[in-house]
Chain A
């Protein structure tokens, strides 16, 4: 598989401005970031950022090295080559008059999506899955009429027992 897109996982110390620092770095260096999510981890004080970068327009190695230069960045891993689970969460509000409802519900069922709100002419559907799965689902329901759509961006975790949070410092990309 040609990994055009790269999924990076970064562990950050929860210090003021750390997210801003990272984002500002991407802007300044002209890195093309497709999605970015941040949230808590199992360790208090440490956040985890998942980044998807377009490896064609952005040198992934430079992104990693530049991220390491931020004092509060503890570890950065490119998990694209490892077997991993990548998930994106979608909420979509679709035009759904009673006549269309059952068809929509069937589609949702096939994708394992949940109906989380129904009003007379609209329905809100929640789906989590790989970004590609979500894309396919959106394509299928588009003809019904999408009123509002939101996605969280990707989070990723490698399969197996090992974790990215292992030893924080990666030999190759130590900060300077």
Chain B
């Protein structure tokens, strides 16, 4: 029988799992793996400039492709640099496998050079993790890791492999199946509960569907649409649920929550049944919990039993896979129309949309940029956003038509996410137009990845919304901290020159009239392109629910903000 080194086994395992690309950064403790890599040309390795970016790129890849993303780092600082991305993947249930090198077994626990207890560090932020100290465990561990990452509620799994294990030799037999008696995800919702949900939905006068990331992760967009169309129930999409239903669909209402739309939050407060699938009632969605959806019976579908009943009291809990549960429900639920209810919500929307969507006169605001985006692109793009005001505007103002076209860091809110995640998205979709949209702050958190973009010839389009501030924090300071702009005004380098230094062409846009042309120029450029939009400095994201307030209390422009009230609930 043929024997392999541990490092070769790792490569074989990756191949067996259908991996064709990984994002990583070498170092002492992972060198045997990198030594083996050239023997496996099917495994494309993308060298990032910082391990955090490797993690986010793996996430971007996973979030778009539906496959498991893989990132690799050495021990110690390499591994700790992955931590933020792993936490991000955990919060957003993204299937990634992080492979790290570890010091040799005899040094573990002795504070060896570049030793960190990365399995200890990542225990609370991984779905599961492993430290491999025996080469015989490698095949089983890889098999289990990929299985755990991609099944049930997806999530990050870390495999820490001691360097001597990578060098050791052993017989490679990849297991066909896993034996994890403590891990049996439940895919089929309980029949009785599904029936109960159908009854509740049949009787509802003002039902509402809240669709979350679970729809996208469970590839249930089609099923969601069929269900909504049969029942005539309007759909709201959480930040991570965006793009699970085409936004021009007559039943699609938009986003709820802190920066959601007034008509959407109003619908939540008025609805009698809130049918939530694959969303976890994050505080950014619910606002003050005890006033949230107070007239509604809640049906909650989630693959993770621990989510059901965690934050809100549910009338009907269903533990199962979004796709299967929706299929079963669609079969038994009555066809219906809720035109009166829908019209009522649309009426609320109509009285407000103008004020919310129109940029204030004479100013060059991000609203112009996003409006042009939507107009020019006609839904044919994928967008990765960073974190901050531009992220909320991108969620509010751009129209997404196809699943997995809006990729963002929702749960952790990780600045620096957009550029590396977009690299992963572009790798997953080499022939599509991928845009990274970041603020001037967040862009500077991982801008070193411009080099990776060039080295790998990724044709991605980068858009910086430069308002000269850490905008979202400045907004909070303006509203809740007496306008004390502490540490939020931000100097930036000349982004166009910077891009130029990396060999990336770009333009700066300072007037609304020039937006369309710049976008067109980016699109027609073969290869990466950067646009810096220098926008009005102090524009705020509205509507808004103050942190800790009820979603019934939204304000739509600064004149409505009563600072004392806001400070009181903070």
Chain A residues in the interface with B (C-beta under 8 A): 13, 16-17, 20-21, 24-25, 28, 61-62, 65-66, 68-75, 168-169, 172-176
A73 to B302, CA, bound (A): 20
Identify which of B124, B128, B305, B310 contacts A173 (C-beta below 8 A): B305
Q: Do A174 and B184 contact each other (CB < 8 Å), given the known contacts A20-B120, A20-B123?
A: yes
| B319 adjacent to chain A (CB < 8 Å) | yes
A170 to B169, CA, bound (A): 40
Identify the closest chain A residue to B310 (Cβ): A62
Q: 1/0 contact trace for B299-310 toward A, CB 8 Å?
A: 000111110011
| B374 adjacent to chain A (CB < 8 Å) | no
CB distance from B185 to the nearest CB of A (A): 5
| A to B CB contacts below 8 Å, 12 in the list | A17-B123, A20-B120, A62-B309, A65-B305, A68-B306, A73-B182, A168-B181, A169-B181, A174-B184, A174-B185, A174-B186, A176-B186
Please, which residues of chain B bring their CB within 8 A of the CB of A174? Answer: 184-186, 305, 319
| B153 adjacent to chain A (CB < 8 Å) | yes
Identify which of A21, A25, A61, A175 contacts B183 (C-beta below 8 A): A175
Please, which residues of chain B bring their CB within 8 A of the CB of A74? Answer: 181-182
Please, which residues of chain B bring their CB within 8 A of the CB of A24? Answer: 123-124
A17 to B158, CA, bound (A): 14
Identify which of A21, A75, A172 contacts B123 (C-beta below 8 A): A21
A20 to B127, CA, bound (A): 14
Identify the closest chain B residue to A69 (Cβ): B306
A71–B131 CB distance below 8 A: no
Identify the closest chain A residue to B119 (Cβ): A17
B128–A71 CB distance below 8 A: yes
Please, which residues of chain A bring their CB within 8 A of the CB of B120? Answer: 17, 20
Q: Which 4 A-B pairs have the closest CB atoms?
A: A65-B306, A176-B304, A176-B152, A174-B186
Please, which residues of chain A bring their CB within 8 A of the CB of B303? Answer: 176
A174 to B127, CA, bound (A): 15
Beyond contacts A174-B185, A176-B153: 9 other A-B pairs, Cβ-Cβ < 8 A, are: A13-B182, A16-B131, A62-B306, A65-B306, A71-B127, A71-B182, A168-B181, A175-B185, A175-B305
B181–A68 CB distance below 8 A: no
Please, which residues of chain A bring their CB within 8 A of the CB of B319? Answer: 174, 176
| B1 adjacent to chain A (CB < 8 Å) | no
A75 to B302, CA, bound (A): 21
- Which B171-209 residues sit within 8 Å CB-CB of chain A? 180-186
Q: Quick one: which of A66, A69, A72, A74 has the most chain B CB within 10 A? A: A69
Identify the closest chain A residue to B305 (Cβ): A65
Q: 1/0 contact trace for B305-322 toward A, CB 8 Å?
A: 110011000000001000
A168 to B180, CA, bound (A): 11
Q: Quick one: which of B153, B181, B182, B184 has the most chain A CB within 10 A? A: B182
A74 to B184, CA, bound (A): 10
| B279 adjacent to chain A (CB < 8 Å) | no
A176 to B184, CA, bound (A): 7
Q: Do A70 and B182 contact each other (CB < 8 Å), given the known contacts A62-B310, A176-B152, A176-B319?
A: yes
Identify the closest chain A residue to B128 (Cβ): A71
| B148 adjacent to chain A (CB < 8 Å) | yes
A68–B305 CB distance below 8 A: yes
Please, which residues of chain B bring their CB within 8 A of the CB of A169? Answer: 181, 184
Identify the closest chain B residue to A169 (Cβ): B184
Please, which residues of chain B bring their CB within 8 A of the CB of A69? Answer: 127, 304, 306
Identify the closest chain B residue to A11 (Cβ): B182
Q: 1/0 contact trace for B124-143 toward A, CB 8 Å?
A: 10011001000000000000
Please, which residues of chain B bring their CB within 8 A of the CB of A75? Answer: 182
Please, which residues of chain B bring their CB within 8 A of the CB of A173? Answer: 305
A25 to B120, CA, bound (A): 12
Q: 1/0 contact trace for B424-437 toward A, CB 8 Å?
A: 00000000000000
- Which B92-137 residues sit within 8 Å CB-CB of chain A? 119-120, 123-124, 127-128, 131
A68 to B183, CA, bound (A): 8
Q: Quick one: which of B119, B185, B186, B303 has the most chain A CB within 10 A? A: B186
CB distance from B348 to the nearest CB of A (A): 36
A70 to B306, CA, bound (A): 11
A174 to B309, CA, bound (A): 15
A28–B124 CB distance below 8 A: yes
B182–A72 CB distance below 8 A: yes
A176 to B124, CA, bound (A): 16
A34 to B33, CA, bound (A): 45
A169 to B185, CA, bound (A): 11
A20 to B181, CA, bound (A): 20
